[in-house]
Structure formats: structure tokens, C-alpha cells
Amino acid sequence: MLFNSRTFLVFYIVVTSLYFLIPHRLRWLLLLAGSIVFYMAFVPAYILILGWTIVVDYFAGLFIEKATGQKRKLFLIVSLVSNVGVLAFFKYFNFLNESLTALLGTIGIANSVPFLTILLPIGLSFHTFQAMSYTIEVYRGRNAERNFGIFALYVMFYPQLVAGPIERPQNLLHQFYEKHEFDYRRMSDGIKLMLWGLFKKAVIADRLAILVDRVYADPLSYGGAHFIVATVFFAFQIYCDFSGYTDMARGAAHTMGFRLMENFLRPYHARSVQEFWRRWHISLTTWFRDYLYIPLGGNRVPLTRWYFNIFIVFLISGLWHGASWNFIIWGALHGLFLLMSISTKRIREAFVRAVRLDRVPVVHNLLQTLITFSLVAFAWIFFRASSLADALYIVFHLPEGVVSLFDITSLPQIFGGFRLRGVELTLAFFGLALLGIVEYLERFGSIRERIKRYPLWVRWSMAYALLAGAYFLGVYDDIEFIYFQF
Amino acid sequence: MISQDFVKFAARASIFSLGFLALFALASLHFHYRIVARDNVFILLNAFRNESIQPRVVILGDSHATFDILSAKFPREYYNFAYPSENWRKFVLRARATINLKDSLEYIIVPLDYYQFSPTRARHVFFTDYLFFSPIEDIRDVYHPSLLELFKAKVSSVLPLVSPSNRNTYRRVLGEDIYKFFGGKEKGKMIYIGEHNELRWEGESVVWSELPGEKKRFAIFDREKEQFLKPFIDGDLYNVFEEFFSFAQAHDVKVIGVFYPTTLEYNEVLSRFDKETGNITALGEKYKNLPLHATLDYRNVFDDHQEYFSDTDHLNRNGAGIFTEIILRDLEKIIEKTEP
């Protein structure tokens, strides 16, 4: 059940209406039943995998709480092994098997281990990480959840079940016990957030996808300039796709009174890769920070170990996204960017002072933003390409495109090469321009709060424009959200 | 207990929804007058209903039959009822309608081009535009829609903007209108109705052999991506095709198959694909069992005249004129031969 489908619209209206109509004590049951229906709408059988994770972690939480000494650690390990095991089996088995086949092949040995021919359960990495955060928090001293149903709801709360934000027990669990009265303002805010998310997904992301898919599906038929345009478009596609989903998830939860964490904070405004990761997929970044980076010692270790900690976290982050060398390289590139950024900090600062760039902060900031965006976009090539060979082909052909993009006279030929209708390209640029304006205004404070102060007719006109825009200008071809696959 | 906030929200949400419905109704009305009323399919299907049209021979097919044959050069007993981009499902709907509406019918000319069963063609399962033309039983026989699909199609035939593909069209046309409003050059229809109710297209004056190499390469690439995919034969579409022959036989209508002219480049892609997959040869073998009255193969007829093409597999106006004479001469022979 995709958020941008009519089925979801009906589902959402039914569940939200019932939520406010039934007594408070039954609401968790309604949300749990709704979440089960929501998840089973994808592949029904996979509810069993989710069920396994819930049962194991529920009891692990209770045992960890009761146990003392080494037993606590033992129960935590059981929970982590179970979670990571499920992830490894469904997500990484074929990748490891494929790598083993290639490795054995180099020494002339045939690998007879069969490959799995099953679909990856949707959102597996998200709910597994959310479940893991629970047992880790209980191990760290948090009270275990006694109500099995509430715990199950924590793992599978439908708005954030398949693509996050990856919540923590301390933020979400207690909210299921709170009584949420119907609130006009909250309802209206939540719906507007959902509408903006839908606009980003259907109008911007899915339109950019048409061009991006065309180029990345067949790189051999395109040139360097096409790769640059397609990669920049992909950077915005994945942002609008994922943040659009998050907005819809947060909006849907908000209308019922639940507060889900922010997941994006204008990431392409970041002036360094470090800052980018404080703004992009925040719930995952903070998960890795709290449950991997800090336990590894964080930055309170010798320099080489610190570098190792950073690099390993990004490598695992890459692997979290997908079981292929492309994702590992994507993660490694971000790790390298960060290490380079840390290790060259003094040199760069000295350079900025030497050329007096620090005296014109506007230009300095703009340059930093552009360089950060370029690095992030470059890494996206590995994320998006269908294979490592395709990614390398694109990377090696990028330089030839730089020159032609600066030649204005060649632009019609470059954009003509995508063989898209003029209207589609115009709408793509219109969407990007609108996103740019909204994000620029967001720098000066919440745009939604500002809109609240406008007269009713202005607010309604804007809502109509957004709704009509999403409906008439959107692409509705059942295109799944990119992050569902992780 | 229902709170005041809830009542306020419900009231405002209802007013807001009504406003959006009004906007939707206005847009639907505009869509009807701006697009539906000027749509080539609707105009031509309606024109075919005219009782004065009583052909002995009806030509069905897609853009090949539409543009390669100039209807104006045909005698009155022939009727070119082909339409671009349609697939075998729609050919059958047209054939059934022809058999029902035109007692004079004796022959149906159909395309045998191999790509007709490709997955790209098979994906076209949109039948809403035929709800006003074909009986629902025919649509059920050809498309096997579920009740929900049929309901959706009915809804979108009444409220066309409910359908995403209609919204795409609306968006494109509105975009062009806005462009024109601001002084942009009017973009004519890519396909338009000329004299004698025959369809014409913007590419009819292009000469393939004079195109630059890169353009040709792109055109071939596009065709290859569109037509030569695996699985090459869509089973469902092929069943529709086979059932058509039984239907024609049951109604005593003879079927003549035609392979339309294609460029050297296209033929090269076709034979390369066949070498790799054997799909073309296999399909050719299947054709042998079809109850065809005759088969006309023009694939190589213009091998020495590439200037007659406008793209990889369509003739330009000049080529179409010459081809029409050739096919008419051949058809007359076949039809004459079988007459008592």
C-alpha cells in the first residue's frame, strides 16, 4: 500500500476516523490491526518475519530487564543475533553467496550453494533497526514494555513501518499510552504536511525519475553531460522521494497526535559532508551514532582509531542500504569524504584566509555548499547505478560533460537527447524551483507557522494549489518509494 | 463524544472538498471540450458508424497501415480503419464492430509485423476510450477485465480526469496552450485528420536516407528498446490474435496478412535479434498454421529506395503514395482471383 495511492487514502481516512471515534483503551488495538493490514498489503507472508522479530525482542527485553550480570549481555546478544540474522539471511545471503562464487571462481572452484529466490521484505532494515534500538535501550537501563500489543505496535506503527523515521523507544513507546483528543490545528497541520510530501513525491521525484531511469538504465547510449544532469536530478529525486515519504509518515502520525522525529533538514544546504549527515536521514545517522559509533569509542580514542571508527560506520551504513558493492562504495566514499574533511581542515582554513574568502562569507558559504553537493551527488552515482560497471562507466565519462554543460548553445541538444516532452522537462524544473524557494524560506523559520498567520482565503488558495498541483501535475504510475527496498 | 473541534474540522473539510470537486468538474468540462471533442479516435470511430460507408475490404492495424497506405488512392469499397499505436486487442474490437455494422464486409487486412506481440504493445490495456464504441461483451472477451477494472474504466469514461493517463494528456495540452498564450509558436497535432478522413502525421515529409547518422542511431535505438524485448511474444495478446481468426472464419470473413516495409537498418536489428533469440523464426513458424487467405510480404520492397522512408519503419508521403499503388495492385489480384 503506497502512500501515494487511492487505497492508502481510503485506509488513512478509515483508520484516522475510527481512531478518534473509539475509546482510548482500544486505540492501540486499532492501530495495530491497521498496521498489520498496511504491511500485509505488500506481501502477506512477510508478516511472519516481522512477527518473529517482535516476539524475540519482546521476550529479550523482559529477560534483559530481569537478568543481572553477564546474563543481561547474553540476552542482548541473542536479540541482536536474531535481528541481524534475519537481516543477513534475507538481505545479504545472495550478495555473500555471489561474492563467494566470484572468489572461489578465481581459484577454479565451483560454488554449489544455491541462491535464494525470494523478495526482500519491504522496510526490513527499518523495522529491524527500530526493534534493535529497543533491546539496546532496555540493556542500558530502560524499563521493558510489558504490553505485548503495544510493543508490537512500536515495531510496526504503520506510518513509519516501511521507511522510517527509525524511532527510539524513549520517543515513541510512551505516546501509545497518551490520550490524544481530536485537535483541529493538529489535524490541519498534519494533512498539510502529508500534502507537501505527496507533492514532493508525485510531482518532483517521480517526474525526475523518468529522466534519471532513462539514462541510468542504458548509460552506453548517453554522454558525460547527460550523466551530470541525470545525477543532479537523481540527487533531488531521492531527496524528494524519501523526504516526501517522511513528510507523509510524520503528517499521518501527527493527525492522530503522534510526534515522529525529523528525518531531513534541508540536506543540500549543508556546507560540509559532516553537516550533510546531520541533515540527511537523521534517524539513521543518530542510530549509528548512538549504537555503533559511540560504543566503538567515538572520537575519544587515538586518531587512527577515530578515523577507523568513522570509516567503519559509513561502510556499515552503505551495507545497511543494500547488499551490493555499489552501496559499500557509496558508504566508503562518504567515509573518505569525512576523513578528508577532518584531516585537511587546517589547510583549508589557511587557504580561505590566504585568498581572503573569509571576508565574503556569502561567496564562501555558497562555494562550500556547492562543493558539498558535488561530492554527495558524485557518491549518488554508485547508489543509483545498476551495477559497478555502469557506475564506473558513468564516472569515467563525467569530465567530458563538464565542458559541454558550460556551452549554452549545446544545452538544447543535451536536453533534447533525453527525448522527453518539453512540458515534462518544464515541470521538472518548476518542481525543483518551488522546492528551492520553499527550502530557502525555511532557513528563516518554519514556513508552515508563517502560513498559519495568513487569512483563511490565502491559506485555502495555497492548499488548493498544492492539492491540484499534486493531483494534476503528479506522476501516478505506482512507482514505489526508493527507500522501501532497504 | 464528538468535540467542537471535530465538528469544525468536518465542516471545513467538507467545504474544502466541495471546492476541490468544483475545480475538478470545471477541469473535466474543459478537458471534454478541449480534448475529447477534438480527439482523432472519437472522431474517426464516430465517422465509421455512418451507414453510407459500406466497404468490402477493411484495413486494420497500427501506424504502419495508417500512414503507409493513402486512403484517398483507394476505391470506395476499401476502408482504412487503422489507428496508430493500437494493438491486437483494439484491432479485434474494431474488427468485431466492422462485422456487426457493415454487412458488405468480405475481407479484413491485418498486419503481421512481428513486434505486434511485444511486451510494449501488450502493456496497452486501456479500453476506456472504446466504451462508447464497442459492446461491453466484446470488451470483456478481449480484455477480460475484473469487475473493479470495468468499474474504474466506466468511472473514467464519465470523469476522464480520474485517469492518470488523461491527466498526462491534459497537462501536455494545457502546457502547449499556455506556451501559445505567451506568444509561443503553435504546435500542430503530431497526428491530424486530413481530407477523406485519412490520418496524416508530422513526420510524413521526412526523408530517412537524408537524416544525420546520430538521428538514425537514436531512432534505431528507440525502436530496438521498444519492440525487441523479452519475452518477445506476449501470450495473452497472441491468444487474442488467434481468436480473431476463429471469429473471422465464423463470420465468413477472409483475412489477408501484410508485412509492412521496413528500412535496411530495422531489418538488420530484426535479424540480429532473431540470431540471438530465435524468436522471429519461431513466430514465423506459428504464422504458418493461421487460416490466412493470403500473405503479402513487403519488408524488403524498398531496400533500394530508402528515400521512401521517414523513419525506421514508416514511409513518408512520397513512399506511401508508391506503396499504396503496389499494395492495391496486389490486393486487387487476390480479391479478383477469389471472386466467382
Please, which pLDDT band fits residue B201 given cuts at 50, 70 and 90?
A: confident
Which residue from A187, A221, A464 is facing B23, i.e. has the nearest CB?
A464
Best CA proximity match to B130, nearest among B122, B142, B119: B142
pLDDT value, residue B185:
72
Judge whether B251 and B99 are in contact, CB under 8 Å: yes
Please, which pLDDT band fits residue B340 given cuts at 50, 70 and 90?
A: very low
The total of other beta-carbon atoms located within 10 Å of residue B283's CB is 17
pLDDT value, residue B248:
92
DSSP code for B304 = T
The DSSP line for B38-93 is G-HHHHHHHHHT-TT---SEEE--SHHHHHHS-GGGS-TTEEE---TT--HHHHHH
Q: Inter-chain contact B20–A218, Cβ cutoff 8 Å? A: no
Give the contacts of A243 (CB within 8 A, at least 6 positions apart).
A197, A200, A263, A264
Phi, psi torsion values for B57, nearest 5 degrees: -125, 125
pLDDT value, residue B279:
86
Phi, psi torsion values for B295, nearest 5 degrees: -125, 130
pLDDT value, residue B128:
84
- For the cut 50, the answer to whether the pLDDT of residue B11 exceeds it is yes
Q: What is the ipTM of this complex?
A: 0.74
* Angle made by CA atoms A119, A120, A123, in degrees to the nearest 5: 140
Chain A interface includes B148 (CB < 8 A): no
pLDDT value, residue A482:
63
Report residues of chain A scoring pLDDT below 70. Answer: 478-486
Chain B interface includes A20 (CB < 8 A): yes
Domain ranges of chain A: 6-179, 186-485
Which residue from B16, B164, B172 is facing A460, i.e. has the nearest CB?
B16
Which residue from A184, A221, A477 is facing B8, i.e. has the nearest CB?
A184
Best CA proximity match to A122, nearest among A467, A366, A482: A482
Q: Inter-chain contact B172–A421, Cβ cutoff 8 Å? A: yes
Chain A interface includes B212 (CB < 8 A): no
Least confident stretch, A327-331, A403-407, B318-322, B332-336: A403-407
Chain B contact probe: residue of A4, A195, A461, A471 with most B CBs at under 10 A: A471
CATH 3.90.1200.10 corresponds to the domain B35-145+187-338: no
Which of A254, A281, A321, A397 is labelled catalytic? A321
Domain ranges of chain B: 35-145+187-338
Chain A interface includes B30 (CB < 8 A): no
> What 3 state SS string does B96-127 have?
HHHHHHCCCCCEEEEECCHHHHCHHHHCCCCC
Q: For residue A321, what are the CA distances in angstroms to A143, A161, A313, A456? A: 31, 16, 13, 43
Cell numbers 510489558 correspond to: A146
- How many residue pairs bridge chain A and chain B with CB atoms within 8 Å of each other? 49
The total of other beta-carbon atoms located within 10 Å of residue A8's CB is 17
pLDDT in tens, B205-225: 889 999 888 888 888 888 888
Examine the residue annotation and report whether A364 is marked as an active-site residue of this protein.
no
Best CA proximity match to B310, nearest among B206, B210, B170, B177: B206
Q: Inter-chain contact A472–B27, Cβ cutoff 8 Å? A: yes
Q: Inter-chain contact B23–A472, Cβ cutoff 8 Å? A: no
Using a CB-CB distance cutoff of 8 angstroms, which residues of chain A are in contact with residue B221?
Answer: 221
Task: Specify burial of residue A104 (Cβ count, 10 A radius: 0-12, 13-18, 19+).
Answer: middle
Using a CB-CB distance cutoff of 8 angstroms, which residues of chain B are in contact with residue A468?
Answer: 20, 23
pLDDT in tens, B36-79: 888 888 888 888 888 888 889 999 999 999 999 998 888 888 99
